């Protein structure tokens, strides 16, 4: 459901190069200092474009551009739209609590108009889902359905229901509503198809692939969906399909790691090159303290380096903040590979608390 940004770490530092060699082509926005827009609407439009580019390209520099603009904008001139965008930026940078505080403030403001309040509520509901706070997420989704009914609100509710023991009902209900809304706007259909894909995967339905491919037809630049589909194909041994799907996405960590695993399993001639590139990239990110996505590094450690202990450390750190299915599955796998029964027991207890059953978690069964 979520259109969460997938980010790439910087390439490794190269110290041997010719004086005239072009090292990197910067985005056009980086070629000159970014002029601060004079009005709040103009600033919001600029930041929205940066967030869109970050989502579409997996390039964290656009998040840096957005952050830089916020730092130069007076706090007393922050509008509700800007606050929602800043919360979205913070969520993209895994600063979940500041995002939650900002969104809650927008919702509690008596002057927020209904459209912006609905946007803030949807963003907050998504954040709560990502972190596994299902009761709060369900409450926000229910309020969203009252204030702004439609496929997006229905998708929000379906996701919360599916994660708390009602996946089959949630899937059937959302599928029926989607069929009744064939003329709906593109964004709503993307949310619905993405949610249907996730719940279908939870139920072990092969239709998950169809739903994800439908999203990519509507939004080819949706890196989150591309990652979900690539993972789904990888788990089914469709390595060639993974390699094709991830072609030209090696700068996006989540896709590059999945691609490297598929290449390794397929004994692809380029497997060693990509693995070595990831090793350098993650080593530099850790040295610089810029390892944003611990899930990707943990998966790299587990499936490419076969270092279960390191994978478990980072999968646990990641799971403290993010509890989406890919996060939970990775922690289960790392714990089993490392022989840590206490971690397995803790995750199983958490899943049981929410009656969460997922076909993607064979390790959850004792």
CB count within 10 Å of CB 177 equals 16
Per-residue pLDDT, 25: 44
What is residue 32's DSSP assignment?
Answer: S
Angle in degrees, 0-180, between the axes of helices 186-203 and 325-338, rounded to the nearest 10: 30
Using CA atoms, how far residue 38 sits from 41, 45, 47, 53, 98, in Å, is 9, 12, 13, 22, 26
Per-residue pLDDT, 2: 37
Per-residue pLDDT, 17: 31
pTM: 0.87
Per-residue pLDDT, 183: 60
Whole-angstrom Cα distance, residue 252 to residue 296?
Answer: 10
Q: Tell which residue, 349, 281, 291, has the closest CA to residue 317.
A: 291
CB count within 10 Å of CB 76 equals 5
Per-residue pLDDT, 26: 46
Per-residue pLDDT, 290: 60
Per-residue pLDDT, 4: 34
Whole-angstrom Cα distance, residue 326 to residue 235?
Answer: 12
pLDDT per position in the chain (366 positions), as tens?
A: 333 333 333 233 232 334 333 334 445 554 334 689 899 999 999 999 999 998 888 888 899 999 999 999 999 999 999 999 999 999 999 999 999 999 999 999 988 899 999 999 999 999 999 999 999 999 999 999 999 999 999 999 999 999 999 999 999 999 999 998 866 689 999 999 999 999 999 999 999 999 999 999 999 999 999 999 999 999 999 999 999 999 999 999 999 999 999 999 999 999 999 999 999 999 887 877 666 679 999 999 999 999 999 999 999 999 999 999 999 999 999 999 999 999 999 999 999 999 999 999 998 886
For 221, the token pair is 């630049």
For 171, the token pair is 């899937």
Q: How many CA atoms lie within 13 A of 36 on its CB side?
A: 10
For 326, the token pair is 């890919």
Residues 6+ apart with CB under 8 A from 108: none
* Tokens 């995967």 found at: 201
Q: Tell which residue, 209, 218, 162, 227, has the closest CA to residue 188.
A: 218
Whole-angstrom Cα distance, residue 257 to residue 274?
Answer: 9
Residues 6+ apart with CB under 8 A from 242: 230, 233, 234, 258, 259, 262
């Amino acid at each position: 459901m979520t259109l969460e940004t997938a980010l790439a770490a910087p390439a490794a530092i190269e110290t041997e190069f010719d004086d005239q060699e072009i090292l990197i082509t910067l985005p056009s926005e980086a070629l000159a200092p970014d002029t601060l827009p004079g009005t709040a609407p103009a600033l919001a439009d600029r930041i929205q474009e940066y967030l869109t580019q970050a989502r579409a390209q997996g390039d964290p520099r656009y998040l840096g551009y957005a952050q830089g603009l916020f730092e130069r904008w007076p706090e007393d001139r922050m509008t509700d739209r800007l606050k929602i965008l800043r919360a979205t930026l913070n969520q993209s940078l895994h600063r979940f609590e500041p995002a939650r505080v900002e969104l809650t403030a927008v919702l509690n403001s008596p002057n927020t108009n209904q459209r912006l309040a609905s946007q803030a509520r949807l963003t907050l509901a998504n954040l709560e889902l990502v972190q596994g706070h299902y009761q709060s997420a369900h409450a926000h989704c229910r309020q969203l359905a009252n204030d702004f009914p439609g496929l997006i609100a229905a998708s929000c509710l379906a996701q919360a229901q599916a994660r708390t023991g009602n996946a089959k009902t949630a899937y059937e209900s959302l599928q029926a509503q989607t069929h009744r809304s064939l003329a709906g706007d593109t964004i709503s259909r993307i949310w619905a198809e993405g949610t249907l894909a996730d719940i279908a995967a939870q139920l072990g339905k092969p239709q998950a692939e169809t739903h994800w491919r439908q999203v990519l037809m509507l939004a080819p630049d949706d890196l989150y969906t591309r990652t979900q589909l690539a993972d789904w194909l990888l788990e089914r041994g469709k390595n060639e399909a993974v390699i094709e799907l991830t072609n030209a996405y090696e700068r996006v960590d989540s896709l590059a790691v999945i691609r490297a695993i598929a290449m390794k399993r397929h004994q692809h001639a380029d497997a060693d090159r990509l693995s070595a590139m990831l090793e350098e990239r993650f080593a530099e990110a850790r040295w610089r303290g810029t390892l944003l996505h611990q899930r990707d590094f943990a998966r790299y450690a587990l499936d490419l380096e076969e270092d279960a202990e390191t994978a478990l450390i980072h999968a646990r750190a990641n799971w403290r903040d993010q509890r989406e299915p890919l996060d939970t599955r990775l922690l289960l796998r790392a714990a089993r590979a490392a022989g840590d029964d206490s971690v397995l027991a803790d995750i199983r207890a958490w899943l049981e608390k929410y009656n969460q059953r997922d076909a993607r978690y064979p390790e959850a069964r004792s």
